[in-house]
Structure 1
Amino acid sequence: MALEAGDQKLTSFFSSYQQNCLPFHQFVYCYQGSCTFHTDDTQIDILAGTALFMKPELVHHYKLQGEACGLTWVAFNGYLIQQLSADYGMATQEPYAVIHGQTLPALQREMTALFDYADDPFALQQLSTVLYRITIEFFIAWKRRAIAPRYDNTQDAIAAAATRWIRTNISEPANVSLLAEELRLSRQHLCRIFQQRFGISTKAYWTRLKIAQSQQQLAQYPHKTIKEIALELGFVNMSHFNKVFRQVTGSSPGTFRSSCMTRLLPET
């Protein structure tokens, strides 16, 4: 696995920055100030709190807006990122994805944490784990903002409480009625909020989160059996887990794990 990470400060000493075209996937997070992001045919405003994902070989550059702009970035290669971006709905022909106007402090913390591992040839597992978390957090937020219509503050609070409860109880079977009861809502009301907020049903959201968690464990913990992972995440049995995993990702858990183990081997 090849990886580069850094912190870039755009200042008023330069009005435009040289073009980049990296052979890696790249995450960029703007934590201060503002700039514009340019490709051959697009221009996007980048403000503090904006997160950006780029595919390899995208020719781009930045132009400063204001006095200064701070960008944290990480560039890396790997098969898993390609599969995850596709799983979350990013089309093959889309060169980048952007999340505007949302503060993602955890994303910046994770990216900064990579600085500790970037030059360590023995930190492959730590690097893979952190990169996986960055990818999952980015694409969950990206997909949510891409499909969600306007919603009021009450719905926002309910959705936040519901997703928090689901994450806390991720090892339990996906029981929507129990979740609705915990939130003192009708099942129908809760499902309407999830459909409006995320574009999918409560059960589908819960299931996809379980599958995302299972993908992480399959990739990062080769000593765990597939059955152990399935049971830890509340699936009734292996048959049920295999069926749901294939419905969500298009492949079996075993095939997914094998591809990850092969692709994540250190380059020589």
Structure 2
Amino acid sequence: MKVLQFTIPVAHDKSVIFEQVHLPHFYPYLHRHEEIQITWIQQGEGTLVVGNHMHDFAPGDVFFLGPNLPHLFKSNPEYFNSDSNKCVKAITIFFNPNGQLHAVLDLPEMKPVKAFLQQYQHGFKVPDDAFNEISSKMLSFKNAFGPDQLIHLFKLLKILYHHGVKAEGLSSYGTSHRISENEGIRISNIYNYIMQFYHEAITLEDVANAAHMTPQAFCRYFKKHTGHTFISFLNEVRINESCKKLTDYTYDSISTVAYKCGFNSITNFNRVFRMVTGTSPREYIDNYNRNFNNPIRVAG
């Protein structure tokens, strides 16, 4: 398995690993591994890049990531400042469904769970109404050993199976596409460059130069390894960031958010916003207010 080759430190006498991290920021490179990963974000904010899609993450979010799915928990820029007091905390459960657990998952009683795991290889975000049950079960792994860990895993999978059957996948691209270690680092650096300078008038030439490639070679390379064109990825980054700004009480108008996110006209912003999200900025704010009962007043 290659992407950025990333080997989860599962001991030979264990088929499940419990990991709790407390770091300045999350691992900064696109990577994949054979293990399924279930991560509970306890502290920290940023963007989860999965395959060819992006999703915000914040404390209280739980993500299920399938095996060999390229992903990157990209912490917000402020987490990389040397004088920042910010940090991230997370709990993760790893297990390889095709490893030592393969025989168990082949049992007749496990058929629905095995089908569920195969169906959601592109991952999903755990619904909010399942958070208390899922987080409580994940905490139970901390001091569990031997057969208790397996019992907790099967109980966790049962909960995920019941809550995840209608969840939307995190990505539509990437589990079968192989990326070498060097390519994983290069793509991560490209992602980081775009996500750092998205608010500026960056061009294809700028990003190609940062990747030490010609624009033509960069276009082919980026499309092959991400499923995105440079413009489509840049637009997704900009719209993703604009969604955060529209709902964080920081800006008093939609046009201000548009310009802060790198758009040079409100017309273009509205067009791209609808293309990426399926709604207008105003509709997005109204939907947010209805769903969270937390009125936000932003001028046009």
TM-score (norm. length: structure 1): 0.52
Distance 1:174 1:203, change over 3 A: farther
Flag as ranges the 4+ runs of structure 1 deviating above 6 A.
35-40
Distance 1:217 1:163, change over 3 A: same
Distance 1:191 1:216, change over 3 A: same
Q: Distance in 1 between matches of 2:61 and 2:181?
A: 33
2:92 partner letter: Y
Retained in 1: the 8 A contact 2:245–2:251? Answer: no
- Which residue does 1:42 correspond to in 2? 113
- Which residue does 1:207 correspond to in 2? 235
Retained in 2: the 8 A contact 1:235–1:241? Answer: yes
- Which residue does 2:285 correspond to in 1? 257
1:209-248 alignment, distance < 5 Å: 209-221=237-249, 223-248=251-276
**The structure with more strand, counted as a fraction of residues:** 1
2:287 partner letter: S
Deviations 1:204-233 (A, max 9, x none): 111111111111111222643111111111
- Which residue does 1:121 correspond to in 2? none
Q: Distance in 1 between matches of 2:63 and 2:165?
A: 17
Distance 1:225 1:57, change over 3 A: closer
Say if 2:258 is the partner of 1:187. Answer: no
1:24-63 alignment, distance < 5 Å: 27=62, 31-32=92-93, 34=95, 41-43=112-114, 53-55=125-127
Distance 1:65 1:53, change over 3 A: farther
Q: Distance in 1 between matches of 2:193 and 2:234?
A: 10
Q: Distance in 2 between matches of 1:240 and 1:27?
A: 34
Query: Which 5+ residue runs of structure 1 have no aligned equivalent?
Result: 1-9, 11-24, 74-92, 99-138
Retained in 2: the 8 A contact 1:170–1:210? Answer: yes
Deviations 1:213-257 (A, max 9, x none): 111111222643111111111101101101111111121111111
Say if 2:235 is the partner of 1:164. Answer: no
Deviations 1:65-123 (A, max 9, x none): 9543788x9xxxxxxxxxxxxxxxxxxx962468xxxxxxxxxxxxxxxxxxxxxxxxx
Aligned length: 177
1:41 partner letter: P
Retained in 2: the 8 A contact 1:28–1:53? Answer: yes
Distance 1:157 1:242, change over 3 A: same
1:247 partner letter: M
Distance 1:169 1:33, change over 3 A: closer
Deviations 1:5-33 (A, max 9, x none): xxxxx9xxxxxxxxxxxxxx972566256
> What secondary structure does 2:125 align onto?
strand
C-alpha RMSD of matched pairs (Å): 4.4
- Which residue does 1:95 correspond to in 2? 166
Distance 1:232 1:34, change over 3 A: same
Post-superposition shift, 1:177? 1.2
Query: Which 5+ residue runs of structure 2 have no aligned equivalent?
Result: 1-15, 17-59, 65-90, 98-104, 139-143, 157-163, 295-300
Retained in 2: the 8 A contact 1:35–1:65? Answer: no
Distance 1:164 1:32, change over 3 A: same
> What secondary structure does 1:220 align onto?
coil
Question: Is the deviation greater in 227-236 or in 148-157?
Answer: 148-157
Percent of counterpart pairs with the same letter?
17
- Which residue does 1:175 correspond to in 2? 203
